[in-house]
């Protein structure tokens, strides 16, 4: 009898082990090269781990993203990962997921809902990235710099936190002022048109010593606009941005960009370590698993090109 019971238990354990976990991932969209690299990494990491990944691209539409999450509930997935378009409006959706008994993990961008509604957030600190950028610019200009700002998607966590982090440092230097801001939605095209607006507002970037962009793609678009207008970014103007894309290191080496804070796109291992750990019973995760970011300039641009992001 004992032998039959232990054989049955063994079979049960084997079946549980063999069943692939179904993990759903609601992604912001594909607005930037950073985002498409992050999506590719999630897909590759899921495949490597034998995870059945259910993927939804919200195309930068917060309502569509919430709908996708409700669809995941109907599919009875084992866990849900959300990279939220914007911080607000998540409470009801997260309550519905919780009521269905599905654990939720927030990745990359944050939500402003009650943290008890999700297991953990796995992400870099956008506020720290903003402070790093502000501190670099303050030292590069001895605290004397008129800045124009290219903002990311309104209401998104990196746009809010990078802005606040940068301003917290700028506020320490009376000579550091943000002269004008324009929204470029984190896209290259948005950066192009936002720079057209900034050039008009500042009469050809007069009195501007730096362009501060909430991501690399917007800066790359803005660089083209500035060059078309006969300006020389990188030579006459400093640039600070975020993501650390290969194209920004190329721009540094070409002399048209000066600094970027690299934000990891290889988030899949960080995220699935936590999700799978949780699904196999581990409970002692901090609410925020912080992923490191680092600042890079032309000095190390060449070596950064050869490294995984
Ligand atoms: O949430 C991270 C930000 O979103 C990236 O810095 C930006 O490129 C993306 O669109």
**CA 182, CA 191: separation in Å to the nearest integer?**
9
With beta carbons less than 8 A apart as the criterion, state whether 56 and 24 touch. Answer: yes
Could you read off the pLDDT of 262-290 as tens digits, one per residue? 999 999 999 999 999 999 999 999 999 99
Distance 27 CA to ligand 1 centre (A): 11
Triad 131, 133, 136: Cα angle to 5°: 105
pLDDT of residue 4: 52
Q: Is the pTM above the cut of 0.85?
A: yes
How much is the pLDDT for 306?
A: 83
Mean pLDDT by 10 residues, the chain (309 residues): 51 58 98 98 98 98 98 98 98 98 98 98 98 98 98 98 98 98 98 98 98 98 98 98 98 98 98 98 97 97 87
Measured CA to CA, the distance from residue 225 to residue 219 in angstroms comes to 10
* Contact (Cβ atoms closer than 8 angstroms) between residue 268 and residue 44: yes
Residues touching ligand 1 (Cβ under 6 Å) are 31-32, 34-35, 108-109, 158, 186, 215, 217, 242-243, 263
- Give Cβ neighbours of residue 9 (< 8 Å, ≥ 6 apart): none
Q: Supply 178's token pair.
A: 């943000």
How far CA 62 is from CA of 14, 24, 156, 300, in Å, comes to: 40, 17, 10, 37
**How close is the Cα of 76 to the center of ligand 1, in Å?**
29
Per-residue pLDDT, 91:
98
**pLDDT tens-digit series, residues 215-264:** 999 999 999 999 999 999 999 999 999 999 999 999 999 999 999 999 99
Tell how far the Cα of 164 is from the centroid of ligand 1, in angstroms.
16
């Amino acid at each position: 009898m004992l032998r039959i019971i232990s054989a049955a238990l063994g079979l049960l354990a084997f079946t549980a082990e063999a069943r692939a976990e179904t993990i759903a991932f609601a992604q912001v969209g594909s607005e930037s090269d950073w985002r498409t690299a992050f999506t590719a990494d999630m897909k590759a990491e899921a495949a490597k781990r034998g995870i059945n990944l259910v993927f939804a691209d919200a195309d930068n539409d917060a309502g569509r993203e919430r709908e996708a999450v409700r669809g995941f509930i109907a599919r009875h997935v084992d866990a849900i990962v959300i990279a939220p378009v914007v911080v607000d409006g998540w409470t009801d959706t997260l309550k519905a997921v919780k009521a269905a008994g599905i654990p939720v993990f927030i990745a990359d961008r944050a939500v402003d809902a009650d943290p008890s509604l999700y297991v953990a957030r796995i992400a870099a600190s956008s506020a720290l990235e903003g402070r790093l950028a502000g501190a670099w610019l303050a030292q590069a200009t001895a605290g004397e710099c008129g800045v124009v700002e290219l903002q990311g998607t309104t209401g998104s966590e990196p746009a809010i936190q990078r802005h606040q982090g940068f301003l917290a440092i700028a506020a320490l230097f009376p000579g550091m002022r943000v002269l004008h801001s324009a929204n470029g939605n984190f896209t290259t095209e948005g950066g192009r048109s936002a720079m057209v607006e900034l050039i008009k507002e500042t009469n050809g970037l007069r009195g501007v010593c730096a362009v501060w962009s909430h991501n690399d793609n917007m800066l790359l678009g803005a660089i083209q606009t500035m060059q078309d207008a006969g300006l020389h970014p990188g030579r006459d103007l400093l640039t600070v941005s975020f993501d650390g894309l290969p194209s920004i290191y190329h721009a540094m080496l070409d002399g048209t960009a000066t600094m970027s804070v690299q934000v990891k796109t290889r988030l899949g291992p960080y995220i699935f370590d936590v999700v799978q750990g949780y699904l196999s019973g581990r409970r002692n995760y901090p609410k925020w698993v912080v992923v490191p970011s680092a600042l890079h300039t032309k000095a190390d641009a060449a070596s950064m090109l050869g490294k995984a992001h």
